[in-house]
Amino acid sequence: MSTEEDDLAAAWGEALDAEAVPEATPAALAPDATRVLNQQEIDSLLGFGGGAQQEEEQSGIQRIVSAGLVSYERLPMLEIIFDRLVRIMSTSLRNFTSDNVEVSIDSIVSLRFGDYLNSVPLPAMLAVFKVEEWDNYGLIVVDSALIYSVVDVLLGGRRGTAAMRIEGRPYTTIERTLVERLITVVLADLSDAFSPLSPAHFRFERLEVNPRFAAVSRLSNACILSRLRVDMEDRGGKIELLLPYATLEPIRELLLQQFMGEKFGRDSIWETHLAEELRHTEMSMDVVLDEQTMPLAAVMSLQRGDRITLNTAPGAPVQLRCGDVTMFEAELGRRENRMAVRILRELRQKAEA
């Protein structure tokens, strides 16, 4: 009897297992299968989980203000300046650290200032600098990896060993002083990089470790962020240079150039060529002895041999005109068998005034 009960229990167990297989397959029988998120879950992860009701409550202006994307114009000359900065920094940091230093650009992006402050990887040092000529501020962020690497290199750390990083403690005075010297070198190189385009002096203001105390712009303002990678053989880190668009506004037209020396709406080569060709252009000049207002009937009745009395005394100055523009005041005379005029003074400036 027990054998029959065991067989019956086994049959029921197999039936239950067969029914449970379809439900358990995604989690139990296929642990490596990738779960696909639906649209609602994706919207929730991206912060759009308010639903249609929340979208209806927001006006058009509120949607624009709360948008996370930043619409910005491309500044071609700024990319050239950052390339020049990389070359200058590679040389200056080699002299500063007496080590083989390679500097490269990771990315150049545009984002909002508030979004960047929330994404700064801590611990880090944030240097606030001011551009004297533009009367505005910018930010340089040095990450902890580069801080410990620079301290290790400047204090005689051996090559081939990674920089020691101690978590859970504030930066010491020695570390802050050495990083401040590094930032001073970077700011000097930044001034040299901008000098061919526009003279600018980047002056170090203060050093902060809390992003809240390094607010140099409104949180909603757009900024240019350039991430620079500094490699010192087996050590290194990142330097992030943040320039608000308000800081670059005084030289915005220069940064919109495609190449150095370009002028908007003008081309110096064609301008010079046109000026040279204009100097070789022939033009006719009219000598005006007198001007009178006459009725049209009197003009129509003029016959050959009629005389018109001029209200100009002999030897009085006459005007030289090109079209409707009075150019010079001249004296009427004779040279050999031809009538001639001698220019006395220029009248074009008075006519323009």
Query: What pLDDT, on a 0 to 100 scale, did the predictor assign at position 53?
Result: 47
Residue 199 reports pLDDT greater than 70:
yes
Question: What is the C-alpha to C-alpha distance for residues 130 and 205, in angstroms, rounded to an integer?
Answer: 7
51-60, 199-208, 321-330: the lowest-pLDDT one: 51-60
Q: What is the mean pLDDT of residues 272-284?
A: 85
Q: What is the pLDDT of residue 320?
A: 85
Q: What is the mean pLDDT of the chain?
A: 77
Q: Is the pLDDT of residue 166 over 80?
A: no
Comparison of pLDDT for 172 and 36, the residue scoring more: 172
Average pLDDT estimate for 3-13 = 63
The secondary structure of residue 1, as a DSSP letter, is -
In this structure, what are the phi and psi dihedrals at residue 192, rounded to the nearest 5 degrees?
-65, -35
Of the pLDDT bands very low, low, confident and very high (cuts 50, 70, 90), residue 241 is very high
- The reported pLDDT for the residue numbered 171 is 81
Find all residues with CB under 8 Å of 35, minimum gap 6, and list them.
26
Of the listed ranges 113-122, 212-221, 310-319, the least confidently predicted one is: 310-319
Strongest mean pLDDT among 14-28, 265-279, 284-298, 306-320: 284-298
The larger pLDDT score, comparing residue 163 to residue 14, is at 14
> What is the DSSP-derived secondary structure letter of residue 263?
B
pLDDT at residue number 6? 65
| 7 confidence band (pLDDT: 50, 70, 90) | low
* 3-state class (DSSP) for residue 18: helix
Q: 178 forms bridges with which residues in the sheet?
A: none
Q: Where in the chain are all domains bearing CATH 3.40.1550.10?
A: 76-255
Indicate the pairing of strand 286-288 with strand 136-143.
Answer: unpaired
HSE on the CB side for 249, CA within 13 Å? 10
State what percent of residues in the chain have pLDDT above 90: 9
- Find residue 247's DSSP bridge partners: none
Return the residue matching tokens 């197999």.
14
Split at pLDDT 50, 70, 90, the class of 99 is: confident
pTM flag (> 0.85): no
Fold for domain 76-255?
A: Chemotaxis protein chec (3.40.1550)
CATH 2.30.330.10 in the chain is located at 282-352
Q: What is the pLDDT of residue 181?
A: 92
- pLDDT of residue 73 exceeding 80: no
User: What is the reported pLDDT for 100?
Assistant: 86
Which of 5-19, 101-115, 130-144, 175-189 is predicted least confidently? 5-19
Distance separating alpha carbons of residues 217 and 223, to the nearest angstrom: 9
Judge: domain 282-352, CATH 2.30.40.10. no
The predicted pLDDT at position 164 comes to: 55
